[in-house]
Structure 1
Amino acid sequence: MPSPPGDPIFARSNEIQARLHELIPGGAHTYARGSDQYPEQMAPVLEHGHGCHVWDVDGNEYVEYGMGLRSVTLGHGYRPVVDAVSQTIRDGVNFSRPTIMELRAAEEFLRLVPGADMVKFAKNGSDTTTAAVRLARAATGRRRVAVCDQPFFSVDDWFIGATPMRSGIPLQSSTLTVRFRFNDIGSLATVLGEGDVACVILEAATTTAEPEPGFLEAVRDLCDQHGTVLIFDETITGFRWSEHGAQFLYGVRPDLSCWGKAMGNGFPIAALAGRRELMELGGLRTDRERVFLLSTTFGPESGSLAAFLAVVRAYETEDPIGRMERAGQLLAAGVTAAAVDADVGEYLRVVGRPSCAVFVTCGPDGQPSQAYRTLFLQELLRRGILGQSFVISAAHADSDIARTIDAVRDALTVYRRAIDRGSVEGLLSGRPVAPTIRRFTEPRRILDRS
């Protein structure tokens, strides 16, 4: 199959990726960044970025979507954040006592999230969700955790033990985590009716699903009736749906909430926030048995706190959420129109909140297909678009959206050909991508090329 003009070369990326697999399990430090999530021999190794553009080690330039797994909303290298961090770290990064910046960051966070009384900073979302679960278990004396059927909450045993990738996790951890369905209050009522549930944890909204009217209120009521702690995971929704969180947007206050990703525009910072009577169980103003809540060397390092404070200032003056929503709407409309024009509107769709959209790729049977997803990714990469989704940032200008839509239109000519053939054979180079969390390495085990 002929390649489009300027088809990128991945020779250096492939060489480095092979070396990464020699040194790092999976070839990346995050499973979602793994080479098995991209077409074979087309997983760019990146060198630098600016705004919504990134460059790989082969010199290829892309418009990027996904934006650091949704952690970058203001754009790569956003100058006010970089300058704030640079200025701060000149005076030291980590100390043996709290700094004044910790107080300022806590005050600013709690000003933004009026439903929270106290906050504790950490480095990633898994730390905060696990701390929230521990806190709920201590407060209630119960063991079980009710988890919504949403993709991901933690790398720790209480959650991963309930996924297909649970090797190395004691069976007891798996049995203590139970599932309920989003927008199905009856499924949660059943779980809570079985007893011994310490907490309910869910995202108030997801990329592809908004809460139905009354659902979150009903979850709150059920938790109150059963004395169960309600936890909102705001890792994605916080600073993307609203800087005040989904809890503010939908008007339902959780007992605890967990934050991360866009808080620092890519810098590593997360937060656990919640009601004073719960949070104080990890402090020094309680007569109850103490909870080992969060205690991390790098949780309050000054660089990331400076990034957070600069992000807060940007959200006060620049309306990044409004800009993301507008750009996402333009992109979704353009891609949808391109799909209709290519007569593949029933096979490729853009779904979800405009600032956090994903594409659904279906095969000839109308069902989601990893093979057709990979073909679409392959054709976008060949045309200078990098992204496992259409998750956007405030740095995406109209020109970037137009370039992306043009690339999609071109890519869909190949997609249409695959639909007509009933197969991606002869059009897709290599094996399809595979689910991130799966039990075995197949169907993307690294092949021995010796």
Structure 2
Amino acid sequence: MTAGAAVAAEPTGFGEVDSEDFAGHSKCANCHAIIRSQWEGSMHAYAYVDPLYQAELVMASEDTGGQTDEFCVRCHSPIGFVSGEIPPIDNSMASDVALESVQCDFCHTVTEGDVGNGAFVSTPGEVKWGPHADAPSAAHESEFNEFYMEAEYCSMCHNVNSPFNGLPLDDTYTSWSESQYAEDEVTCQDCHMTPGITQFEANPGRSASGAPKRDHISIHEIVGGNVFMLEELSDGMYGEKAGERLREAATLEVSVPAEAVAGEEVTIDVEITNSGAGHKLPTGITELRQMWVEVSVTDADGKELYVSGQIGSEDNIEDAIIYQTVLADPDGEVTAKLWGAESIVSDNRILPKGSAVESRSFIMPEDAADPILVEAKLLYRSAPQHTVDELFGEGVYDVPVIDMSTAYGSINGEADVPSESTPGFGALLFAVSLLAAGCVYRAKK
């Protein structure tokens, strides 16, 4: 199947399937215990019960008179949708299996689909589809389906256009399809369902008890970058893995002049490269997600000479470029409400294998002690803290800020680079190179 290809059948509609036709994940665990345990801590397992999603689902429903209910639920609780049990979004009609979010039996009974907005064909029954042609089972029939090995499978829900005006709201698949990764046939599964974070890496094992050992079994953690909710919902099980994925997504390079005298304007160039993600950085629903660079300059005595990109007292990110999508409502006012968006004001996210260069400048003070250390950090958070506080109340959730990459530069000599690792995230590895324009430190965690 190719991008944008029409499906052989119409996507399954609301209420067309009985929820009793789907097996709960506990039944799947009888044979697929390892895979089920991987799934249990994933965002797919929490897709419908995620508190942030639930809060926005209710808000959207109230604002639109329920017009978004079926649209959102289609991907977040596909069994709830196809069974007609959700909506209502108060879950008063929802069966237990409908509340299992994006679960085993649903995914493995999808036979085909199209790009975007949950355009899947659901065929629950005895046949379970997957990427293996020789997977006999006493519990059910097994059939090979090449669709499970293609990025288009993921595209069914990881591309979203507004149901009201077609405005692109999530272009994860589209940005992949237009990238070198697609040309090289590196799919979503190669990065998100293997031990390798930025490329395919085999995971030998068995897909079920008694099944043949294979060179590769897909990992069903399917981790992205949502450290925030994974820390909250999975007791940290996959939060660290999400942080690791973020730290492998980008590299940072700082360029500064080798020397500067008091009173001179010093320019700092920071280059961010999307070196490890097969889609834009950040990706997904990015009206809330934020990625930015924090720059600090200190002298040999530890005196701060310059800082930008810090989070201020009002939760605003000061003097920094924020990489995200900015949306506007029909009146042209910026909005974070996807359901009310009419246009895209800006989108400065970094393309796969693409780069962005930011410049900062400060005046070298008279009393600065040499050498001068320049530190740049690429930071990320899933949502602004003030937005989360408005939804849930202050103190309910703390949104973590993730250090994706750190790089250093020196002026007027070689400054000591901090050797401490970011708490909980392992040691930093630094590769140092010198450019004619000055000292440049590259860092990739």
Q: Same fold (TM over 0.5)?
A: no
Band the TM-score falls in, shorter-chain normalisation: under 0.3
Q: Which structure's relative contact order is higher, taking Cα pairs within 8 Å and 6+ residues apart? A: 1
> Per residue, is there more strand in 1 or in 2?
2
TM-score by length of 1: 0.22
> Per residue, is there more helix in 1 or in 2?
1
Structure of larger gyration radius = 2
